Chains A and B, each alone.
Chain A
């Protein structure tokens, strides 16, 4: 036990302080990451078909969800505490001789932590990780001179694939932990050799043993962090988007600690890109490394602190600007909402039908509505806009057939989101119907897909339908032509199949029709898939036009 007492009796120059808790807290957080990381590795599988599926498997157990949360939120905690540790030691001037080696080892550890974050984000092989890493590798590939070698080292070939994952996993889960362990030991040993640096006004000659006061401060802070980490893990969890789709597109955004750099890349023109991507980080690193040489006497201290705090302030401003510009970009907000929809669907499918050996993307593509989505993109977006893509010659289909969409149709049938751009007219706005009747009519039309018009559940809506003279143009009998489409089975699979297959038929738009008859262009099975997709659009109700 004597070695333990030797440790605990270490003298602290100037006495115990709360300001010294960050170093031991970092060791504690690193150990927590190691523990959660090992636990995750028991299930994780690093290959393109398996990675997302194995992470989804982890996510679907209560403990797995918490573990992923701890690992992902732990990374944020680590970088935040590392930042505080750096700031505290810099403010106290702890980088000065004879402690330069401790300082440099600390900076190296910070770089290792960032490397952990970069390599870890790819491992789930979800949309976010995939596209964010493409950008990371893209930045590396645009490096002067060694760009190509770097890229091929990182991806293990010209294309992102299995070898990219095994590489990132090997670095994340074996090489980096080993290096981290070695340099943490070196950093702590170097720190103990010269002790901590007390603030300038404190008499360093007066010392106090580590035990008990400093040890209790450290333990108290570590416990506080653990509690906060558990809360963050349980409430925020770890993000898992849908499986990566290399043929798709996404709006990847880096974590908060890379946001300043992201914003710089967005602002700078192409010819200054290398300056932003490499110059600024290298300059910051060089400044931090050079602190022991720059700040040798007290007169230079204000300038050094000004540089440090100014740099941090600029980074914080860039970070805020980046989040702000995203929040007010409607296309970004919509893309995020759609990514959420895809993520939920992928997790639901993984739980219900399971992931085949071909991978999670194949699982999604095996769904009729997904094949329908692809057909829609090819066949329908020339005229219909959906999710921000497509033409404006026909109604917008965000939230198609949802109550909100139907309500908007009743209020503004001639607006450009509905039939304003189509040479079909005659329907008037029902905005004067009154809120209660409008609601009942909306529910009635929404209910027709699964109930007969005279179903007792639809009775009150039917009364509004008749009172508002909707029946003058819209029959409630199958296929009957009253000038406008028959609403028998409106929105049902059968009604939609007829609409897509032959929109000029009696009971649909007859001679007013301008939509191509896809029954002549597509296979019957294609139409069924397209209809299956159209029926899922109701799930995007939030994207439908907000009724005024």
Chain B
């Protein structure tokens, strides 16, 4: 190996090493999910007064909480929830479609129950799946009543699959 060839090989090797080194910060930036949620239990979000809820009249509420969103700590809507009262008590169903994440609305044909305007999934009044393409019923969220106020914990679930897996 003469000097020219050695230098050339060294230059190519250094170039590859430099390019490889550049991949690291690039991958780190792409996989950085921000400062992340502060550890601990998800906050209980106030969504209204218990006395507002009447059987057969579901109420929708935005799940607004102060969260760390990348570079801001800000009030943010973490989706919405459908609240309903039945004989079994108060239930909170996520308004995020378990199919692909659109917002669920009441059915427009006057029947009780819910529908997704994107791909036309239908849900019964108790949130159970009536007709796909969604693979499962509406996702229930943790709910409690404290001093007459209904409180809900926000959560997101993996879309598109029949198993209810929190993300």
How many B residues have CB within 8 A of the partner chain? 55
Query: Known interface pairs A162-B72, A335-B117, A382-B54. Does A271 touch B135 (Cβ–Cβ under 8 Å)?
Result: yes
Whether the pair A270, B135 counts as a contact (CB closer than 8 A) is: yes
A98 within 8 Å of B (CB atoms): no
Query: Which residues of chain B are within 8 angstroms of A161 by Cβ–Cβ distance?
Result: 69-70, 76
Q: How far is the CB of B32 from chain A (nearest CB, A)?
A: 7
| Residue A426 interfacial (CB < 8 Å) | no
Say yes or no for B66: interface residue by CB 8 A criterion: no
Chain A residues closer than 8 Å to B104, beta-carbon distance: 249
Q: Are B69 and A142 in contact (CB under 8 A)?
A: no
Return B128 CB to nearest CB of chain A, in Å.
14
Within 8 A of A (CB), among B136-167: 156, 158-162, 167
Q: Shortest CB–CB separation between residue B98 and chain A, in angstroms?
A: 10
Cβ-neighbour of B36 out of A49, A151, A157, A335 (below 8 A): A157
CA distance A391 to B120 in the complex (A): 21
**B71 in contact with A162 (CB, 8 Å):** yes
Mask of A239-275 contacts with B, CB within 8 angstroms, 1/0: 0000001111111100000000000011011110100
Is the Cβ of B102 less than 8 Å from the Cβ of A249? Answer: yes
Q: Which residue of A lies closest to B54 (CB)?
A: A382
A247/B101 contact (C-beta < 8 A), A152-B33, A156-B33, A162-B71 known: no
Contact partner of B101 among A134, A152, A358, A392, CB < 8 A? A134
Contacts of B108 in A (CB 8 A): 330-331, 388-389
Tell me the complex Cα distance, A49–B72, Å.
10
Contact of B62 among A137, A247, A273, A392 (CB under 8 A): A247
Residues of A within 8 A of B62 (CB): 246-247
Measured between beta carbons, the chain A residues less than 8 angstroms from B61 are 247
CB distance from A47 to the nearest CB of B (A): 8
CB distance from A139 to the nearest CB of B (A): 6
Whether B102 lies near A252 (C-beta < 8 A) is: yes
- Answer yes or no: B122 CB below 8 A from chain A CBs: no
Q: Which of B57, B59, B69, B80 contacts A391 (CB 8 A)?
A: B57
Nearest A-chain residue to B105, judged by Cβ? A249
Q: Indicate whether A159 reaches chain B with its CB closer than 8 angstroms.
A: yes
Of the residues A47, A163, A167, A247, contact of B64 by C-beta under 8 Å: A247
* B93 adjacent to chain A (CB < 8 Å): no
Q: Is B91 an interface residue (CB 8 A)?
A: no
Q: Which B-chain residue is minimally distant from A245 (CB atoms)?
A: B77
Chain B stretch 30-89: residues in CB contact (< 8 A) with chain A: 30-34, 36-37, 48, 52, 54, 57, 59-64, 67, 69-72, 74-80
State which of A159, A167, A269, A330 has its C-beta within 8 Å of the C-beta of B69: A159
Return the chain B residue nearest A139 by Cβ.
Answer: B100
The answer to whether B76 and A159 touch across the interface, beta carbons within 8 angstroms, is: yes
Size bracket of the A interface: 35 or more
A152 → chain B, closest Cβ, in Å? 6
CA distance A353 to B31 in the complex (A): 39
B119 with A48: CB separation less than 8 A: no
In the complex with contacts A249-B95, A252-B118, A270-B135, A157-B160 CB distance below 8 A: no
Pairwise interchain contact A248-B100, C-beta atoms closer than 8 A? no
| B132 part of interface (Cβ distance < 8 Å) | yes
Asked if B105 contacts A162 (CB within 8 A), the reply is no
Interface residue? A206 (CB, 8 A): no
CB-defined contacts of B59 to chain A, threshold 8 Å: 377-378
Residues 1-53 (chain B) with a chain A CB within 8 angstroms: 30-34, 36-37, 48, 52
Cβ of A265 and Cβ of B133 under 8 Å apart?
Answer: yes
* Interfacial residues of chain A within 471-519, with CB under 8 A of chain B in the complex: none
Within 8 A of B (CB), among A249-306: 249-252, 265-266, 268-271, 273
Of B103, B134, B158, which contacts A141 at CB under 8 A? B158
Whether the Cβ atoms of B33 and A163 lie closer than 8 Å is yes
B33 touches A250 (CB 8 A): no
CA A156 to CA B135, docked complex, whole Å: 25
B34 adjacent to A382 (CB under 8 Å):
no
Interface centre among B30, B60, B95, B100 (most CB of A within 10 A): B100
Complex contacts, B133 vs chain A, CB 8 Å = 265-266, 268-270, 273
Q: Judging by beta carbons under 8 Å apart, are B160 and A273 in contact?
A: yes
A361 to B62, CA, bound (A): 13
Q: A134-B100, A249-B117 are in contact. Are A159 and B110 (CB under 8 A)?
A: no
**Known A141-B160, A247-B80: A163·B34 in contact at CB below 8 Å:** yes
Distance of B59 from chain A, by nearest CB (Å): 6
Let me know if A247 and B79 touch, CB within 8 A. yes
Interface pair B67/A141, CB less than 8 Å apart = no
Question: Taking the nearest CB of chain A, how far is it from the CB of B88, in angstroms?
Answer: 20
Docked CA distance A247–B37 (Å): 20
What residue in chain B is nearest A382 (Cβ atoms)?
A: B57
Q: 0/1 per residue, A135-159, Cβ < 8 Å to B?
A: 1011101100001100111001111
Residues of chain A contacted by B36 (CB below 8 angstroms): 157
| A201-237 contacts to B (CB < 8 Å) | none
CA–CA, A279 and B48, complex, Å: 45
Q: Is the CB of A142 within 8 A of B103?
A: no
**In the docked arrangement, what's the CA distance between A377 and B119, Å?**
24
| B97 smallest CB distance to A (angstroms) | 8
Which residue, of B52, B101, B167, has the highest number of chain A Cβ atoms within 10 A? B101
Which B-chain residue is minimally distant from A165 (CB atoms)?
Answer: B70
Interface residues of A, Cβ cutoff 8 Å to B: 47-49, 131, 134-135, 137-139, 141-142, 147-148, 151-153, 156-159, 161-163, 166-167, 245-252, 265-266, 268-271, 273, 330-332, 335, 358, 361, 377-378, 381-382, 388-389, 391-392
Q: What would be 9 A-B contacts, judged by CB atoms less than 8 Å apart?
A: A147-B158, A158-B33, A161-B70, A162-B72, A249-B105, A265-B119, A330-B108, A377-B59, A381-B57
Beyond A47-B72, A159-B156, 5 additional contacts (C-beta under 8 Å) are: A161-B76, A246-B77, A250-B102, A270-B134, A378-B59
